[in-house]
Structure 1
Amino acid sequence: MSSVHNSAVPTLIGSVQRALRLLEAVASHSGGAPAKQLAREAGLPLPTAYHLLRTLTHEGYLRREGGVFVLGAAAGRLAVGGLQQKRRSMILDSLAHFRDAVGAPVYFAVFREGEIEVVGVSDTQSSPACEEWADFRETGHAHAIGQCLLGQLDDKTRKDYYERHPVEAITPYTVRDMRSLEQRIESQGRMQPVVERQEYSLGTVCAAIPITAGDTAATMAISLPLHQEGELLYVVNRLRSEVGALLSTLSFSISI
């Protein structure tokens, strides 16, 4: 006698399904709708709809205003979260494109709220990204990403960063003091690649290019093992060419 197994059939939670149908019904009415109308549109008995509407209102997903239900703040956060995830996916897809085009790990970072933030990294098993052994946010003076971002800031903002994250050597090749770093930043041509050799990680060389992202300082960077140092400028110039071509058709969002 054979037996039938339904392990592949997912277990569905009916109350969750009904609550989602109510949320969809409310979302379809910009000015809100009363409980009876929502129950009818969601295909629910009125007592069930009332119970779920009270629960959703208590949790902040709905608000009751003048006898009608409208979406609440919690539902708005869901929408924002979905948009943020979509933007993040777009950035990661773009980084993967650049990675394949230049044959090296690619990084995208911004300077936001006084700190260096690496938004995304794309690498491969054969060409791994540089290991973050010292916090990127606190060691901006020592890596190409940070030096490129710091070079885009005004003097006051840069000074504030130095006060919170002092310049100090983390490898034998790291820039030694703030004065030396400032001299280097001042000597860099505007919108030119920033190159760093073993200042952050021994055995690794890096280069970064400034990215135009509204009023926010942003950068894209690549890293290579030391034995490929001779290819560094070629690869970063290839990256700059690829970024320039794609940015003409892609709005590179940093609001994530």
Structure 2
Amino acid sequence: MDKDLYLHGLVRKLETSSPLQSEERDQLLRLPLTLKQFESGLDIVSEGERTKQCCLVAEGLVCRYKIVGDGQRQILSLHLPGDIPDIHSLLIEVMDHNLGTLTPATVGLIPHEAVRSLTRSYYRIAEAFWRETLVEAAIYREWMVGIGRRSAPSRIAHLFCEFITKMTAIGLSDGKTCELPLTQPEIADALGLSTVHMNKKLREIRQAGLVRLRANRLTILDWAGLCRLAEFDPDYLHLRETHPRK
């Protein structure tokens, strides 16, 4: 496996919101990276665990999640290649949620000390990581509004809009279609819905001619209509470039 390829993915992800200079890119590409493969449905880091490395998503789809008292799961966020979903572990010693795989995944482990050394030497890289955490906070706020106040169809549509916008930003979608390797129960877990209710409302969105979801592939058939249903405005993603669709 090509470690440089995955570190290039990190650089590309950071540059979706923070411009970097050539020297800063070079330093990021020199980070030590130990690759580890995980099957689907496994924890990368568990709640209560102390870690000495950050996890770079190299391949696959990863999520943060919590398990409540009756055993139900709430997915808190989705993470794509190039993300470091536990960058906060540099400062928060004990994990307060689980980080797990939704698909088979390859994760690059980067020692905390290597990241600390880099951010101490290059303040713009430190700012880029800090900006990533702020963007994640903005996404959390949007998800909270969705779960608290949006209808089920609007929540589903918003998830689709957000996912394909983020995939487009990192070069994994043309803005109209992308891989969406989520089961319907996983979508329900992300949106705070029962699987039965989610299935019913997803069927309505399909019948309205807004999307096609087949064999884990999402195709947007009516972007404007989907955005209206979702009340989707991509500003909260704070991307440097937008990807307009017709």
| TM-score normalized with structure 1 length | 0.27
Q: Which has the higher contact order (CA 8 A, sep 6+)?
A: 2
What TM-score, normalized by structure 2, do the two folds share? 0.27
- Over alpha carbons, which structure has the higher Rg? 1
